[in-house]
Structure 1
Amino acid sequence: MQRSASIVAATAAVVLLATGCSAGGSGEDADTTLSIYGWSGEVPDGVIAAFEEETGIEVTFDSFDSNETMIAQLDSGQSGYDVVQPSQYAVQLLVQRGLVAELDHDRIEGLDNLADTFVDPSFDPGNQYSVPFAWGTTGILYNEACTGREITSWADLWDPEFAGKVYMLDNMLSAYIAGMQVSGLSILSTDEAEIEEGTQALLDQKPLLAGYNSTNAADLVGAGDACIAQAYSGSSAAQATAANPDVHFVQPEEGGTLWTDSFSIVEGTQNEDAAYQWLSFTLRPEIAAMLTDEANLATTNEAALAEVQDQSLVTNPAIFVPQEDLTNAEFLVDPGSALAYFQDGWTRVRAS
């Protein structure tokens, strides 16, 4: 699964898809349709089909490739979407722009099914604007037949022994997760001098890299063409570990980060009742379990774990990173004005 953790403002014009723009619902169509804009592969077809069958509401689902694309679509004021699926920092940006509605918890059933980690999260205190659905981490995927040893730290991605066999995610803040934490710093830092330390770490690493790759690094590690790669937990990492017993996904001892993708209701939606029905439906344990069974992604729904049909997925550390390994993991949030420091550093890293 590809993810976007950079917060570089989208500059390209977003083409409005006809299938997405016509589904906002108004007049006689209100509450008979629901238009969702979410991550590709994160909302199982089975969930949508079950919702349509039970409610009679016709769902249109369009996918985006980055939070920035989604935000630009809503910023246009003509998206026609009722529900969106932002990552944690994107929730903050959408709230700042007034693009998502404050949630009425009295209209949502099942919030008490969420795991404690996703209740009252730092990026959305009190879950005022978002209901977490999927989660994962940023960590390390490695092939032990290639590395010859266990990998435990971001520092292993700086080891000259693996020169030319290391990949980093092709994403600004994802790369900085490693660059900051390997320097003993928090990715949440907004201090210019500390961010410069993270930049220098990435500059020092650059000669060792085979490249920046958010597309098929897991396949390269699985095949032994790469020894080690920064990676997101989830379906791609799970597939790589399942296909090759020498391949492992680990959370670095420095912490890495947590990410979560949530559902939020678009401000001004004409299909508010249908949107609330969707939130409650996806909070049902048996429905949330379908995310794991069908998409090989970790559900935020604690009550859903017992409902997962393939329990081997629940114990797979490439999907559900063990709780004891998350002690130092941080939610990646909007750095505000400090974004400029990351952008400047990233420009220098990529140009080096």
Structure 2
Amino acid sequence: MTDISVFRRTSLRRTVLAASIAGVTALAAAGCSGSGTGSAGGGGGKQLNIYAWAGEIPGTVVERFEKETGIKVTLDTFDSNETMTAKLSSGSAAYDLIEPSQYTVQQLIGQQLIQPLDHSRIKGLDNLAEKFRDPSYDKGNKYSVPWIWGTTGFAYNDKCVKSATSWKTLFDKKYRGKIYMLDNMLAAYIAGLQVTGSRATSTDEGEIRAATEALEEQKKILAGYNSTNYPQLLSSGQACAAEAWSGTAMAKVVAANPNVHYVIPEEGGSIWTDGLSIPKGAKNTDAAYRFINFTLRPEIAALATDDGGSASTNAKARDFIKDKKALENPAVYASDEAIANADFLLDPGRAMSHFQQGWTKVKAS
């Protein structure tokens, strides 16, 4: 790791993932957002300025918050973590809440662009599913409160592939010319690393090299790299199997075509999540905490699914979700068993150069 119609959240944001991490890592490690001087201990007012992924905070959530609190919300949207981080780093932004993805939380902490959360002012963290409490990218949820989530796995058409549970399906020569991989460096390396016995979070040069070799060999049998219409190719039978992101585009195909199945590979796959953080210098921190608490309420969190088409991180929200079919669709809500071994994709830091060099070799092979 979604869609920005909701499909655009899947294709656009994930295709920029590698560039986003590389670009963000290169930014200066100093600076702060906004022009205010508020801190976690104060900041009143009846205004709240939010900067979030397009389509991920439904209008119904904003409307209900405004009606209940009398706080006026201004919601600006972005289409990549790089765009959001660059704006914060410039010092020209004046936001009270932002919605970074998990690896970007790590980067924003390092650049001192977000502030630690005051947990004494937050109610409802215990509503989060266990997977999103104390996550590897933000221990103790010190800097962020997860809002929505999704997965990276693969999908197959059972008219071609009878059954599949492993990344090995995407490396099987008998499906030559009928396999697609996401056109995204780090997404491809999730499969490359895990199929060779490593974790998706590996930064070991030797393990990355082994994954590169596997991806180079795999390229010989691929139909291509595709981050846009692969769900439709699977549905039509033009593709037997494809690496895939969960989200509305894939979920619609799974729901409409009983021959298409989305799975989290037994090797683990990966999880992404987007959550709420308070930038350094936020002026309206009282309003920010009220909004965080509002979204932690199960009946509000349920709107992320019913009106936003995304999986909520809030376990108790399931009882309030009206779209029960979404709860049963693995391309929206993967089961707890399926994601038990899934990795949160983290910021690779200095190891990014190994991925970039390897990806250049793969694409040139």
The aligned residue for residue 210 of structure 1 is: 223
The aligned residue for residue 262 of structure 1 is: 275
For residues 196 and 148 of structure 1, what CA distance do their matches in structure 2 show?
A: 29
Unaligned runs of 5+ in 2: 4-9, 28-32
Pairs within 5 Å for 1:1-352: 1=3, 2=10, 3-4=13-14, 5-6=17-18, 7-9=21-23, 31-145=45-159, 147-352=160-365
Q: Aligned pair count?
A: 342
For residues 26 and 222 of structure 2, what CA distance do their matches in structure 1 show?
A: 29
Provide closer, same or farther for how the CA distance between residues 10 and 95 of structure 1 changes in structure 2, counting only shifts above 3 A: closer
The farther-off stretch of 119-128 and 29-38 is: 29-38
Indicate conservation of the 8 Å contact 1:24/1:82, yes or no.
no
The farther-off stretch of 38-47 and 243-252 is: 38-47
Aligned residue identity for 1:249: Y
Which secondary structure does the structure 2 equivalent of 1:273 belong to?
helix
1:306-329 CA-partner distances (Å, limit 9, x unpaired): 111122221222211111112321
Which secondary structure does the structure 2 equivalent of 1:323 belong to?
coil
Provide closer, same or farther for how the CA distance between residues 179 and 148 of structure 1 changes in structure 2, counting only shifts above 3 A: closer
Runs of 4+ with >3 A deviation: 10-13, 23-27
Provide closer, same or farther for how the CA distance between residues 116 and 12 of structure 1 changes in structure 2, counting only shifts above 3 A: closer
Aligned residue identity for 2:76: D
Which secondary structure does the structure 2 equivalent of 1:35 belong to?
strand
Provide closer, same or farther for how the CA distance between residues 26 and 93 of structure 1 changes in structure 2, counting only shifts above 3 A: closer
The farther-off stretch of 103-112 and 203-212 is: 203-212
For residues 79 and 223 of structure 2, what CA distance do their matches in structure 1 show?
A: 24
For residues 56 and 44 of structure 2, what CA distance do their matches in structure 1 show?
A: 26
Unaligned runs of 5+ in 1: 14-20
Once the two structures are TM-superposed, the CA of residue 63 in structure 1 deviates from its matched residue by 2.3
For residues 327 and 11 of structure 1, what CA distance do their matches in structure 2 show?
A: 29
For residues 58 and 220 of structure 1, what CA distance do their matches in structure 2 show?
A: 44
1:149-169 CA-partner distances (Å, limit 9, x unpaired): 112111111122222222211
The farther-off stretch of 51-60 and 302-311 is: 51-60
Once the two structures are TM-superposed, the CA of residue 350 in structure 1 deviates from its matched residue by 2.1
Once the two structures are TM-superposed, the CA of residue 59 in structure 1 deviates from its matched residue by 1.9
Provide closer, same or farther for how the CA distance between residues 54 and 111 of structure 1 changes in structure 2, counting only shifts above 3 A: same
For residues 288 and 216 of structure 1, what CA distance do their matches in structure 2 show?
A: 29
Once the two structures are TM-superposed, the CA of residue 56 in structure 1 deviates from its matched residue by 2.0
Once the two structures are TM-superposed, the CA of residue 31 in structure 1 deviates from its matched residue by 2.8
How large is the Cα RMSD of the aligned pairs? Answer: 2.2
For residues 225 and 79 of structure 2, what CA distance do their matches in structure 1 show?
A: 17
Provide closer, same or farther for how the CA distance between residues 351 and 30 of structure 1 changes in structure 2, counting only shifts above 3 A: farther
Provide closer, same or farther for how the CA distance between residues 343 and 148 of structure 1 changes in structure 2, counting only shifts above 3 A: closer
Indicate conservation of the 8 Å contact 1:141/1:249, yes or no.
yes
TM-score scaled to structure 1, two decimals?
Answer: 0.91
Aligned residue identity for 1:100: I
Which secondary structure does the structure 1 equivalent of 2:75 belong to?
strand
For residues 232 and 338 of structure 2, what CA distance do their matches in structure 1 show?
A: 24
For residues 295 and 163 of structure 1, what CA distance do their matches in structure 2 show?
A: 37
Aligned residue identity for 2:67: E
Once the two structures are TM-superposed, the CA of residue 47 in structure 1 deviates from its matched residue by 0.8
Aligned residue identity for 1:265: I
Which secondary structure does the structure 1 equivalent of 2:113 belong to?
coil
Aligned residue identity for 2:60: G
For residues 167 and 48 of structure 1, what CA distance do their matches in structure 2 show?
A: 38
Provide closer, same or farther for how the CA distance between residues 251 and 70 of structure 1 changes in structure 2, counting only shifts above 3 A: same
1:282-319 CA-partner distances (Å, limit 9, x unpaired): 00100000111122221111111111112222122221
For residues 37 and 223 of structure 1, what CA distance do their matches in structure 2 show?
A: 38
Aligned residue identity for 1:149: K
Provide the identity percentage. Answer: 53
For residues 11 and 119 of structure 1, what CA distance do their matches in structure 2 show?
A: 26
1:90-136 CA-partner distances (Å, limit 9, x unpaired): 11000000011110011112111111111111110111100011112
For residues 348 and 180 of structure 2, what CA distance do their matches in structure 1 show?
A: 25
For residues 222 and 77 of structure 1, what CA distance do their matches in structure 2 show?
A: 46
For residues 342 and 315 of structure 1, what CA distance do their matches in structure 2 show?
A: 35
Once the two structures are TM-superposed, the CA of residue 211 in structure 1 deviates from its matched residue by 2.2
TM-score scaled to structure 2, two decimals?
Answer: 0.88
